[in-house]
């Protein structure tokens, strides 16, 4: 086996798929309202998710695994901890942990390296432990595998704006987000791996409430041969992860969420290098499933298997049709029950191996996005 993945579309050989066992709705912590707002059916609840929802989520995850394996892709699964336990560090305590679905949030694969992210939710601080048995195995089997960990954040109250949500209206939230003013601040490097779009030598990071600029500077020093970019989608009031917003489909083609467009000055680098940005299809559903943290735009959270094949949630008929029209073989995967655990088909996975090498896909650099220059 070999750890090697430089993007989200080269032919997939080996992947990790999450598991739903013991998953908890987190108790109160400073940034909780960013994940569970006051209108959510999870507001005020915390603790283990109902067993029947865990079973349904796992059935869909297992079906997804079978489809991937039937295509010759090797699939590994994490080892869930008992997430329904309190946890402590010298700096904070939590009532519960979270889960190991979705792996995409915590594991960032760049070439032969898998890096555990410095996540901003306290309940997710120990989540990387569910992947340790796999990391140990990869370390033993692949002499070139780099098993890495970003600086563990302290996540004291100083990392958050504790009054951020006080009397905050929807318009107020939209305005703050447009001004890049989020519940997390720049006190220490914080990032979720799912905010980082890997395109060969260039890493495009979404600046939002799960990833700050200090993390991008850390990533730039950690990956000195890459170019780290900061991008943002000003119309998204709740920027959590780039993979329901800006999704590469194959070399030269990206789909963008039509209600969260990349501003023109930030899209110049894509145009200058011959990349086309198209609007994603409209979601088939007008609301997310029960007890779900994410928006209806999980419709575009697809898993690309190679330049011609893509997995799409089975009921997302508009997205299926759009990708079919673009020449893809589309594999429908029922996944609405799994959504509630923290995301769609891309979120539910983390790359171990794809074919291909580190390509320079953006030889013409355009001022504006590179973290070192702004």
Calculate ∠ Cα 207-213-218, nearest 5°: 125
Active site residue 346: no
Active site residue 222: no
Going residue by residue from 184 to 223, which x/- string records binding to ligand DAV, judged by CB under 6 A? ----------x-----------------------------
| C-alpha to C-alpha distance for 241 and 233, rounded to whole angstroms | 11
Q: Is 323 in the site for ligand DAV (CB under 6 A)?
A: no
Q: What residues are paired with 309 via a beta bridge?
A: 306, 329
Residue 256, both tokens:
């963008």
| Identity of the residue, 119 or 194, whose beta carbon is nearer to ligand DAV in the bound complex | 194
Binding footprint of ligand DAV, residue count (CB under 6 A): 10
Residues with Cβ within 8 Å of 36's Cβ and at least 6 positions away in sequence, in order, are 25, 26, 42, 43, 293
| Identity of the residue, 65 or 240, whose beta carbon is nearer to ligand DAV in the bound complex | 240
| Identity of the residue, 150 or 240, whose beta carbon is nearer to ligand DAV in the bound complex | 240
CB–CB of 101/42 below 8 Å? no
Block residue for tokens 């959270």: 301
Q: Taking the alpha carbons of 253, 281, 343, 269 in that order, is the dihedral positive or negative? A: positive
| List 343, 351, 369, 371, residue binding ligand DAV (CB under 6 A) | 343
| Cβ 373 to ligand DAV shortest distance, Å | 28
| Cβ 260 to ligand DAV shortest distance, Å | 8
| Cβ 26 to ligand DAV shortest distance, Å | 16
Q: Is 297 in the site for ligand DAV (CB under 6 A)?
A: yes
| Identity of the residue, 280 or 305, whose beta carbon is nearer to ligand DAV in the bound complex | 280
| Cβ 27 to ligand DAV shortest distance, Å | 21
What totals of helices (H) and strands (E) does the chain contain, helices first? 8, 19
**Part in contact with ligand DAV (CB under 6 A); list of ranges 41-49, 214-222, 275-283, 289-297:** 289-297
CB–CB of 356/109 below 8 Å? no
| List 347, 348, 350, 352, residue binding ligand DAV (CB under 6 A) | 347
Q: Is 241 in the site for ligand DAV (CB under 6 A)?
A: yes
Residue 147, both tokens:
């098993």
- Per DSSP (E only), the strands in the chain are 12-17, 24-25, 47-48, 74-76, 87-88, 93-94, 107-110, 113-116, 146-149, 196-199, 202-206, 227-231, 246-250, 253-256, 276-279, 303-306, 309-313, 329-333, 349-354
Interactions with ligand DAV, residue window 130-189 (CB under 6 A): none
Q: Where would I find the H helices in 186-255?
A: 213-222
Kindly name the residue from 22, 226, 241, 346 that is annotated as catalytic.
Answer: 241
| Cβ 261 to ligand DAV shortest distance, Å | 14
Interactions with ligand DAV, residue window 25-84 (CB under 6 A): none
Q: What are the catalytic residues? A: 192, 241, 347
Query: Which positions touch ligand DAV (CB under 6 A)?
Result: 194, 240-241, 243-244, 294-295, 297, 343, 347
């Amino acid at each position: 086996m070999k750890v090697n993945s430089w993007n989200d579309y080269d032919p997939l050989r080996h992947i990790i798929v999450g598991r739903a066992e013991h998953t908890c709705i987190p108790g109160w912590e400073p940034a909780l309202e960013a994940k569970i707002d006051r209108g959510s059916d999870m507001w005020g609840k915390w603790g283990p998710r109902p067993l029947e929802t865990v079973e349904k989520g796992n059935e869909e995850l297992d079906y997804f695994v079978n489809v991937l394996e039937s295509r010759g892709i090797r699939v590994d699964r994490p080892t869930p901890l008992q997430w329904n336990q309190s946890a402590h560090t010298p700096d904070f305590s939590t009532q519960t942990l979270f889960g190991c679905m979705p792996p995409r949030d915590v594991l960032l694969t760049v070439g032969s390296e898998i890096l555990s992210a410095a996540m901003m939710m306290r309940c997710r601080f120990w989540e990387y432990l569910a992947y340790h048995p796999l990391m140990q195995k990869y370390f033993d089997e692949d002499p070139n595998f780099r098993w890495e960990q970003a600086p563990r954040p302290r996540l004291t109250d100083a990392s958050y704006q504790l009054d951020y949500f006080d009397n905050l209206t929807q318009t107020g939230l939209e305005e703050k987000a447009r001004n890049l003013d989020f519940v997390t601040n720049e006190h220490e490097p914080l990032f979720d791996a799912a905010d980082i779009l890997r395109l060969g030598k260039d890493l495009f990071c979404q600046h939002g409430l799960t990833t700050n600029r200090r993390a991008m500077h850390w990533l730039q020093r950690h990956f000195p041969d890459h170019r780290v970019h900061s991008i943002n989608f000003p119309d998204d009031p709740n920027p959590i992860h780039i993979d329901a917003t800006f999704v590469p489909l194959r070399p030269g083609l990206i789909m963008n969420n039509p209600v969260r467009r990349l501003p023109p000055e930030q899209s110049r680098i894509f145009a200058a290098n011959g990349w086309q940005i198209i609007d994603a299809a409209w979601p088939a559903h007008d609301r997310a499933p029960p007890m779900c943290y994410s928006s209806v735009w999980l419709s575009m959270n697809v898993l690309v298997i190679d330049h011609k094949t893509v997995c799409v949630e089975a009921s997302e008929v508009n997205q299926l049709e759009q990708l079919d029209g673009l020449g893809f073989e589309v594999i429908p995967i029922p996944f609405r029950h799994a959504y509630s655990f923290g995301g769609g088909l891309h979120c539910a996975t983390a790359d171990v191996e794809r074919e291909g090498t580190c390509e320079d896909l953006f030889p013409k650099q355009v001022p504006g996005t590179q973290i070192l220059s702004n």
